[in-house]
């Protein structure tokens, strides 16, 4: 075999003669033989076999299939990657096909031909090993595409953002993140904090749009006991709680104009006063803020202070939408599917070809948040092993009707787009990418060099 560790084979068979025959038929396997449902599930938990052969006719229903199907259902629920080969007696082909629909890998016909069954078992083991290797490669590829510890991307546009954030992480400057809703502003703010010399301090986040205007001042600056009705104890505000670390002000454009004066004073002097107190408290807190609003237009309209803007926006980072990050939708979708399948529906193994094409072509107006929600819902609702375009509630893509008149530019743009999508689908594997594109590896390397792209 390929390894010093023998693969594990579980035989679920109640016939004593067949049990003995099976026990010694495959010396290169670590074989466990059981005769009923309870013993089968116990052995599955203890041994975690790679392959199972399962006789559907088990006691107390040896002439039926009820117990066999119950065992199959439990195996698929507990260890869905296991390759199960079911036994089919004469005239029981319909039951065998039903077992395949439930997740069984294959079936064999009784009376048993040991040599033929051995071929099926070894083929099942081969497939199981390939699938396991692919899962490991996909997991490693997902890690390889992580930047700032958390964000998954391979798009040059987003890698540039990550490099900017890493570069300014240790600088004592305020950072403003500009981008549409759902583009990952808080994730980037956390990445900035964790890349900085403040990483051991607290990271405190507050959504300024989610807190009523009359409560926001207290949330930010804190209050003394008795400062207003309901102030039953002295409370630190978010700015004070984040001392030594980072305060993330999400939707900073929603801070009321009068409160902007108090925030400006903090940024200038690094001191605060709680509501109901005249005592100045020095606070060492770094401010990172974010908004999807046009603050410069708000300044023109008199709704946002220009001096506050320049204090908050010492470094401005513009975050591209998901549609502006070629290939990232596929990478993110695979990462979300792996996580949600593990947590909610282990039978789901991946996306169908039509789903991947739909993910590539969809505009994602809700950005990463929309993608995450669609994948989560699809994983929960999926009936089979693969999530399809319909499960994502996405239409299969139609051919793009847009026309570009400059042929050279159009060809280069199309090449770049298709290569990025193929790289994303194959998790950066050059051989698989070349196969998807229908070209040789040397040709793909030439194109990557020509367009200054990286796998």
Query: Mean pLDDT per 10-residue run, the chain (455 residues)?
Result: 72 88 87 92 90 90 86 86 81 75 82 86 85 59 62 83 89 92 92 94 95 91 86 90 96 94 94 91 96 93 94 93 89 92 89 84 92 94 86 67 47 74 75 83 82 67
Q: What is the reported pLDDT for 427?
A: 67
State the DSSP H helix or E strand holding residue 344, giving kind and residue range, or none if neither. helix 328-344
Tokens representing residue 215 in the block: 């409560």
Give the total number of structural domains in the chain: 4
> What is the residue whose two structure tokens read 């990025």?
420
In a shared domain, residues 345 and 233: no
In a shared domain, residues 454 and 336: no
In a shared domain, residues 181 and 68: no
The boundaries of the domain holding residue 446 are 403-455
In a shared domain, residues 450 and 419: yes
Beta strands in 203-269 (DSSP E): 203-207, 246-250
Record the pTM. Answer: 0.59
Sign of the C-alpha dihedral, residues 329, 330, 335, 340?
Answer: positive
Length of the chain: 455
> Is residue 148 included in any domain, yes or no?
no
Q: What is the reported pLDDT for 210?
A: 92
Instruction: Please give the Cα distance from 120 to 444 (Å, whole number).
Output: 37
Q: What is the reported pLDDT for 418?
A: 80
> Is residue 110 included in any domain, yes or no?
yes
> Is residue 2 included in any domain, yes or no?
no
Name the DSSP letter for residue 236: -
In a shared domain, residues 174 and 135: no
In a shared domain, residues 185 and 125: no
Instruction: Please give the Cα distance from 413 to 135 (Å, whole number).
Output: 32
In a shared domain, residues 169 and 300: yes
For residue 105, the SS3 value is: coil
Given 88, 112, 142, the domain boundary residue is 142
Q: What is the reported pLDDT for 102?
A: 79
Instruction: Please give the Cα distance from 290 to 192 (Å, whole number).
Output: 13
In a shared domain, residues 316 and 442: no
> Is residue 1 included in any domain, yes or no?
no
> Is residue 53 included in any domain, yes or no?
yes
In a shared domain, residues 273 and 175: yes
């Amino acid at each position: 075999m390929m390894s010093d560790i023998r693969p594990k084979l579980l035989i679920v068979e109640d016939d004593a003669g067949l049990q003995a025959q099976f026990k010694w038929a495959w010396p290169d396997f670590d074989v466990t033989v059981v005769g009923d449902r309870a013993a089968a599930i116990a052995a599955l938990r203890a041994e975690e076999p790679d392959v199972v052969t399962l006789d559907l006719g088990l006691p107390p229903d040896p002439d039926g299939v009820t117990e066999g199907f119950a065992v199959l259902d439990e195996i698929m629920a507990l260890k869905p990657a296991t390759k199960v080969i079911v036994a089919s007696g004469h005239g029981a082909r319909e039951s065998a096909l039903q077992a395949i629909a439930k997740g069984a890998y294959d079936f064999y016909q009784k009376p048993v031909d040991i040599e033929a069954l051995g071929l099926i078992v070894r083929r099942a083991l081969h497939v199981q090993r390939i699938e396991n290797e692919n899962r490991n490669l996909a997991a490693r590829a997902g890690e390889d595409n992580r930047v700032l510890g958390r964000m998954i991307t391979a798009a040059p546009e987003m890698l540039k953002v990550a490099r900017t954030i890493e570069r300014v992480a240790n600088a004592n400057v305020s950072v403003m993140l500009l981008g549409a809703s759902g583009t990952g502003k808080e994730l980037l703010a956390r990445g900035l904090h964790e890349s900085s010399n403040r990483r051991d301090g607290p990271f405190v986040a507050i959504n300024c749009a989610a807190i009523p205007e009359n409560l926001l001042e207290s949330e930010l600056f804190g209050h003394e006991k008795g400062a207003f009705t309901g102030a039953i104890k002295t409370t630190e505000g978010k700015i004070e709680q984040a001392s030594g670390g980072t305060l993330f002000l999400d939707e900073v454009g929603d801070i009321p104009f009068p409160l902007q004066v108090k925030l400006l004073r903090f940024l200038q002097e690094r001191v605060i006063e709680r509501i109901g107190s005249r005592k100045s408290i020095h606070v060492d807190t770094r401010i990172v803020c974010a908004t999807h609003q046009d603050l410069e237009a708000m300044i023109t309209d008199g709704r946002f202070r220009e001096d506050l803007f320049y204090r908050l926006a010492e470094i401005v980072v513009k975050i591209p939408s998901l549609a502006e990050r070629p290939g990232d939708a596929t990478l993110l979708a695979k990462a979300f599917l792996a996580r949600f399948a593990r947590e909610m529906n282990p039978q789901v193994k991946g996306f169908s070809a039509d789903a991947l094409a739909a993910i590539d072509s969809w505009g994602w107006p809700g950005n990463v948040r929309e993608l995450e929600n669609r994948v989560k819902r699809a994983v929960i609702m999926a009936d089979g092993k693969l999530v399809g375009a319909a499960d994502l509630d996405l239409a299969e893509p139609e051919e793009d009707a847009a026309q570009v008149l400059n042929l050279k530019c159009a060809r280069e743009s199309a090449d770049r787009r298709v290569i990025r999508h193929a790289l994303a689908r194959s998790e950066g594997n050059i051989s698989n990418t070349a196969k998807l594109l229908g070209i040789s590896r040397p040709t793909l390397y030439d194109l990557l060099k020509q367009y200054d792209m990286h796998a």
